[in-house]
Structure 1
């Protein structure tokens, strides 16, 4: 199965303009852009035949080519990473497309490898995406963001077959304060996807649905149109996972990098 990994990146983020070029300091005090760190994370994934940064912005293209990345250009009409991957599909030959979004440099390679394995084993799944059970620290970060009025990470709920039921920027399921079980029954959705090419083509034929529009979550378009999204539970193996959603997240990610 020929597998191509794409890193969709746009400059004009509503919440954080220029986010792919935001600089982060690592343990050895080296400073790298978010898009470069994500590219380097992608190169650690096994079973990938090619890696491309996918963008419509010349600033991102120039930065990516500057550190040796392959770049596929798309139109400025793409409204999210899935649409950008779908546009780029015409430029590659692949049986499986992996979308590693450009704001998740802490994504371990085994998260992505688990998706590839699931898509090989589950022929009914049109899309696969990782979910990570929250530890108390991550759960508290979710609650802290919501109390501060920040839209942070995404949570997921799924059925007994690990097929996605819903994804939300709210913390679901609800738990009363002071009654948080251990382990915490909240799953952090990791913004990585594996798609079959036909699923990407179908996605482009569907209009944005009301749930996708309200939540601002691209994967809800699949659920709103009856497509099966397989949730793959992954293990962080003691590492803290967080995405760069807001400027405040830089300090969180740099603290993880400092201890890496």
Structure 2
């Protein structure tokens, strides 16, 4: 089974313009966000090809400079899934296409490996995405972002068989209580990675954005609004902390987490 990872990256981020080229310090020195995300993708086992998908020459030139294969996509893509649909059309033949978003360099390889296995094992799912159960410390971080008016991580709720019910930039479900930092909570952090079947990507760009996708700004909601099954695949942190770079304030958080990976 052929697996391709595409890393969508755009310069004109609303919340953080130029985000893919921001420098992040780690034990291995200073590297850009897009390079660290590419290196995370290259560490995944069982993947045949990794490409950076962008419409920006600055990102393309930088990515090519550190050895990445680049696929130029149109500036009309409204989100990473539409950008991945363009990659699938330009590079046909893969059985599964992975969208490892360019703001998630801390994504452990086993998250993606478990995701691939999950989609392979569910013939009904058009798309699969990982979810990580929050401990008290992670939940406190999500709630702190919301209190400060920052859009931080996304949360997911799902039912029997891992079928997604909803995704939100709010912290759901409501818990109404405090948790010890190391205690497990009922809140699941949605990890910004997707595994698609090619047919799902072929159909996606033709669907209109629904009201939920427009309100939340979450591309995966288009699948739910079209009645397609989205599979949530629980993954284990194995002692690694996970965070996405959504705001400038996240740079220090991610650098601290990179330091822990020595």
> Into which bin does the TM-score normalised by the smaller protein fall?
over 0.9
Aligned CA distance change for structure 1 residues 178 and 136 (closer, same or farther; 3 Å): closer
Q: Which residue of 2 aligns with 1:37?
A: 36
Q: Please, which runs of 5 or more residues in structure 1 have no aligned partner?
A: none
Shift in Å at residue 192 of structure 1?
0.2
Q: Which residue of 2 aligns with 1:8?
A: 8
- Alpha-carbon distance between aligned partners in 2 of 1:183 and 1:244, rounded to the nearest angstrom: 23
Q: Which residue of 1 aligns with 2:21?
A: 21
Shift in Å at residue 76 of structure 1?
0.1
Q: Which residue of 2 aligns with 1:195?
A: 196
SS of structure 2 residue aligned to 1:85: helix
- Alpha-carbon distance between aligned partners in 2 of 1:8 and 1:170, rounded to the nearest angstrom: 24
CA deviation string 1:6-26 (max 9, x = no partner)? 000000000000000010000
- Alpha-carbon distance between aligned partners in 2 of 1:235 and 1:154, rounded to the nearest angstrom: 17
Q: Which residue of 1 aligns with 2:213?
A: 212
CA deviation string 1:37-69 (max 9, x = no partner)? 000011100110100000000000000000000
SS of structure 2 residue aligned to 1:20: helix
Greater mean alpha carbon deviation, residues 231-240 or residues 118-127: 118-127
- Alpha-carbon distance between aligned partners in 1 of 2:178 and 2:151, rounded to the nearest angstrom: 23
Shift in Å at residue 179 of structure 1?
7.1
- Alpha-carbon distance between aligned partners in 1 of 2:14 and 2:110, rounded to the nearest angstrom: 30
Q: Please, which runs of 5 or more residues in structure 2 have no aligned partner?
A: none
- Alpha-carbon distance between aligned partners in 2 of 1:42 and 1:98, rounded to the nearest angstrom: 10
- Alpha-carbon distance between aligned partners in 2 of 1:154 and 1:222, rounded to the nearest angstrom: 16
SS of structure 2 residue aligned to 1:111: helix
- Superposed, which structure 2 residues align to 1:8-157 within 5 Å? 8-28=8-28, 30-92=29-91, 93-157=93-157
CA RMSD of aligned residues (A): 1.2
SS of structure 1 residue aligned to 2:31: strand
Correspondence 1:242 to 2:243: yes
Shift in Å at residue 27 of structure 1?
2.0
- Alpha-carbon distance between aligned partners in 2 of 1:172 and 1:228, rounded to the nearest angstrom: 20
- If the length of structure 1 is used for normalisation, what is the TM-score? 0.97
- Superposed, which structure 2 residues align to 1:160-239 within 5 Å? 160-178=160-178, 182-239=183-240
Shift in Å at residue 227 of structure 1?
0.5
Shift in Å at residue 182 of structure 1?
4.2
CA deviation string 1:147-179 (max 9, x = no partner)? 100000000000021110000000000011447
SS of structure 2 residue aligned to 1:132: strand
